[in-house]
């Protein structure tokens, strides 16, 4: 069983996945943030690989990506930092990014390195399903990596099932068709999550985009196994700094403990 599957086997409610951008706020803050997130009670960590043209991201994550790139972050640097990942972190860690930098690094080399440092899954929102099926799926399998696809409220049932088939680990439900960081009307989100639930998919569902406090986390996890917090955490780091206390405060506040 993969690390992600083991997690959901043990715990299938209120799973908290926290996203942050690698190399933000400082080039070398990556590992310290990971260690503190686990200590404070995050269940999954999603590391954003910064990209110059992040079309699926809103202004907060765009700015953190631009800053991280300025700081000198790259896939190469990230893997060097992550070589110590498994000596200080035991929860699932996934990488999120865009196709272009990964292709430039080399897709297979990327999977090999990710697997070597102990990464569990990959999220590449602009990977086409037909390319996944034709080219990339066997490579991900070879290195034991879970691939996580996104679904939206506009995604048809047939396509949700297809994306669920292609995914392993979990399915990423975007809470509305929107770039990251937009506030959401939660009654609509609930209807959508009920619909997903009714499909009885084999993957657990994590809800992303727009979750920023205990109330939205609780609302999102009523119908899904867990939720992903991204922009709200970046904004917090920006305002309060990436200290032990600030990260601890943020995670406990979202979890309502």
Partner 1 sequence: MHTQFSVPDADGYYGEFGGAYIPEMLFQNVEQLRTQYRLIMEEESFQKEFNALLKDYVGRPTPLFHAKRLSEKYATTILLKREDLCHTGAHKINNTVGQVLLAQRLGKKRIIAETGAGQHGVATATVCALKGLECIVYMGEKDMQRQEPNVARMRMLGATVIPATSGSKTLKDATNEAIRDWINNPVDTHYIIGSVVGPHPYPDMVARFQSIISKEIQDQLLNEYGVDKPTRVMACVGGGSNAAGAFYHFLDDSEVEIVAVEAAGHGVHSGMSAATTQLGVTGVLHGSKSIVMQTSDGQVVEPHSISAGLDYPGIGPLHAHLFNSGRGIFINATDEEAMKAAFEISQLEGIIPALETAHAFAVLNDMKFDPSDITVICLSGRGDKDLSTYMAELKKQVDHE
Per CB under 8 A, the list member of 2, 178, 213, 246 interacting with partner 1 is 178
Encoded tokens for 129? 């399903």
Which span (25-33, 37-45, 137-145, 174-182) binds partner 1, by CB under 8 A? 174-182
**In DSSP terms, which residues pair with 173 in a beta bridge?**
151, 207
Quick check: 127 binds partner 1 (CB under 8 A)? yes
Pick 62 or 81: Cβ nearer partner 1: 62
Handedness of CA 233, 72, 117, 50 (dihedral sign): positive
Tokens 């959508």 appear where? 192
Quick check: 174 binds partner 1 (CB under 8 A)? yes
C-alpha separations of 72 from 24, 67, 143 in Å: 10, 9, 27
Min dist. Cβ of residue 84 to partner 1 (A): 21
Cα 70 to Cα 87: distance, rounded to the nearest angstrom:
28
Quick check: 217 binds partner 1 (CB under 8 A)? no
Which span (125-133, 140-148, 184-192, 227-235) binds partner 1, by CB under 8 A? 125-133
**In DSSP terms, which residues pair with 18 in a beta bridge?**
45, 229
Interface with partner 1 in residues 75-104 (CB under 8 A)? 75-76, 98-104
C-alpha separations of 134 from 107, 121, 127, 128 in Å: 14, 19, 12, 10
Q: What mask, x for binding partner 1 by CB under 8 A, covers residues 14 to 53?
A: -------------------------------------xxx
Which helix (H) or strand (E) covers residue 20, if one does? strand 15-21
Which span (30-38, 55-63, 85-93, 239-247) binds partner 1, by CB under 8 A? 55-63
Binding residues for partner 1, rule CB under 8 A, total: 40
Encoded tokens for 158? 């047939």
Per CB under 8 A, the list member of 27, 66, 91, 197 interacting with partner 1 is 66
Which span (3-11, 23-31, 173-181, 239-247) binds partner 1, by CB under 8 A? 173-181
User: CB count, 10 Å around CB of 13?
Assistant: 11
Cα 116 to Cα 183: distance, rounded to the nearest angstrom:
37
Q: Give the residue numbers annotated as catalytic, written as ranges.
A: 46, 57
User: CB count, 10 Å around CB of 231?
Assistant: 24
Per CB under 8 A, the list member of 80, 88, 116, 128 interacting with partner 1 is 128
Residues contributing to the site for partner 1 (CB under 8 A): 51-53, 55-56, 58, 62, 66, 69, 74-76, 98-105, 125-128, 130-131, 149-152, 154-156, 159, 163, 174, 177-179, 182
């Amino acid at each position: 069983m993969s690390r992600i599957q083991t997690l959901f086997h043990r715990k299938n409610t209120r799973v908290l996945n926290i996203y942050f951008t690698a190399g933000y706020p400082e080039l070398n803050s990556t590992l310290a943030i990971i260690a503190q997130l686990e200590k404070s009670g995050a269940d999954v960590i999603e590391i954003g690989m910064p990209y110059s043209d992040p079309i699926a991201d809103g202004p907060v994550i765009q700015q953190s990506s631009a800053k991280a790139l300025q700081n000198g972050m790259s896939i190469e640097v990230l893997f060097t930092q992550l070589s110590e990942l498994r000596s200080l972190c035991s929860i699932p860690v996934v990488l999120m990014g865009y196709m272009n930098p990964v292709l430039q690094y080399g897709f297979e080399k990327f999977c090999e390195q990710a697997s070597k440092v102990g990464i569990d899954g990959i999220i590449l929102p602009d990977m086409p399903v037909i390319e996944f099926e034709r080219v990339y799926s066997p490579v991900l399998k070879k290195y034991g990596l879970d691939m996580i696809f996104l679904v939206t409220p506009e995604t048809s049932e047939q396509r949700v099932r297809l994306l669920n088939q292609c995914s392993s680990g979990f399915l990423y439900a975007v809470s509305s068709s929107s770039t990251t960081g937009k506030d959401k009307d939660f009654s609509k989100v609930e209807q959508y999550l009920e619909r997903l639930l009714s499909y009885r998919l084999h993957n657990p569902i994590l809800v992303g985009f727009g979750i920023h406090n205990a109330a939205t986390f609780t609302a999102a996890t009523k119908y899904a196994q867990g939720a992903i917090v991204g922009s709200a955490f970046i904004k917090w780091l920006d305002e309060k700094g990436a200290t032990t206390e600030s990260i601890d405060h943020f995670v406990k506040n979202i979890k309502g403990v």
